[in-house]
Structure 1
Amino acid sequence: MTNPIRIGSFEDFEVYNGKELGNSDYFKITQDQINLFADATHDHQWIHTDPERAKAEGAFGNTIAHGYLTLSIVPFLWEQIVQVENLKMMINYGIENLRFAQAVTVDSEVRLVAKLKNVANLRGTVKAEVEVKLEIKDQKKPAFTGVLIFLYHFQN
């Protein structure tokens, strides 16, 4: 397990402005996770849920994770990089320049790499823009890249 950075205020964030924050541990994407995500989103396209057909007809040699599944594990992976404390509320504010660059085949391991692109204090609300990349173990191209924007409201 990684050793997350602890953030409890705007000033704590400001120290890392423009700097690499680190990466999460690798996380394995299983067929069971893919199937559960398909059930939750009603997206049962065969490239995700039918291993035999995906091996026979698919372009990737196996089933692949939904792009949005890979995006949905960001909160779990983000908490391995940064733990925000003294928090009243956090809001996912937006995603900029999201690009799905490569499919994540079943049983691949992925990890999140993060850099604090910018942090600003907006009258007591901290706006953090985080450049992220979801790396796939033993692959050159990432699953996705983008900028996540979070709004943090601290206790004091």
Structure 2
Amino acid sequence: MSGPRVFSDLEAFAAAVGEPLGTSSWHEVTQEQVNLFADATGDHQWIHVDLEKAAEGPFGAPIAHGYLTLSLIPKFIAEVYRVEGLRMGINYGLNKVRFPQPVTVGSRIRAHAELVSVTPGAQGSQAVVRWTIEIEGAEKPACVAETVGLLVA
């Protein structure tokens, strides 16, 4: 990874609809990160936080919460692309989210982004970006999600 792809303004970003935006660096998912996420969300299910029981469970190790994987998208955005000249950009929501493959603790993940659409509106432009979060060495991705951001120039 050589740094984020930089767009000079919203118009330049909109011109990239249909294009890959880039790929993040690899990120190792640690047990500490999983435990902190469990504390923050109150989700202490054994498949995430009980190392011994999870080792004997269906995945052979503790797994990250799907929502933890999803919550890393802002980190990946900072690595993949930047739109300059904006007054603000805020999370507007998600269109689709799937978790085809669990992420075991110690795995490395990275994200690929593609700009699906940019639609002008009264409050700003809604940008839909498709994120595919891959697990190093795995056939299926950990997460596929379409994020919707409200970009205000």
Please state which band the TM-score falls in when normalised by the shorter chain.
over 0.9
Provide the residue aligned with 1:23 in structure 2.
23
Task: Give secondary structure in 2 for the equivalent of 1:110.
Answer: strand
Task: Give secondary structure in 2 for the equivalent of 1:87.
Answer: coil
Provide the residue aligned with 1:37 in structure 2.
37
Aligned residues: 153
Q: Match of 1:80, as an amino acid?
A: E
Q: Match of 1:150, as an amino acid?
A: G
**Bigger mean CA offset, 80-89 vs 63-72:** 80-89
Q: % of aligned pairs identical? A: 44
CA distance in structure 1 between the aligned counterparts of 2:8 and 2:152, rounded to whole angstroms: 10
Task: Give secondary structure in 1 for the equivalent of 2:25.
Answer: coil
Q: Is the 8 A contact 1:55 1:61 kept in 2?
A: yes
- Deviation, 1:83, is 1.6
Q: Is the 8 A contact 1:28 1:109 kept in 2?
A: yes
- Deviation, 1:119, is 1.1
CA distance in structure 2 between the aligned counterparts of 1:10 and 1:86, rounded to whole angstroms: 7
Provide the residue aligned with 2:59 in structure 1.
60
Provide the residue aligned with 1:136 in structure 2.
135
Provide the residue aligned with 2:93 in structure 1.
94
Provide the residue aligned with 1:107 in structure 2.
106
**Bigger mean CA offset, 87-96 vs 67-76:** 87-96
Unaligned runs of 5+ in 2: none
CA distance in structure 2 between the aligned counterparts of 1:78 and 1:2, rounded to whole angstroms: 14
Q: Is the 8 A contact 2:10 2:84 kept in 1?
A: no
CA distance in structure 1 between the aligned counterparts of 2:78 and 2:5, rounded to whole angstroms: 9
Q: Match of 1:93, as an amino acid?
A: Y
- Deviation, 1:28, is 0.4
Provide the residue aligned with 1:145 in structure 2.
144
Q: Match of 1:41, as an amino acid?
A: T
Task: Give secondary structure in 1 for the equivalent of 2:82.
Answer: strand
- Deviation, 1:7, is 2.5
CA distance in structure 1 between the aligned counterparts of 2:114 and 2:126, rounded to whole angstroms: 14
Q: Is the 8 A contact 2:10 2:83 kept in 1?
A: no
CA distance in structure 2 between the aligned counterparts of 1:133 and 1:76, rounded to whole angstroms: 14
CA distance in structure 1 between the aligned counterparts of 2:145 and 2:35, rounded to whole angstroms: 25
Task: Give secondary structure in 2 for the equivalent of 1:114.
Answer: strand
Q: Match of 1:142, as an amino acid?
A: P
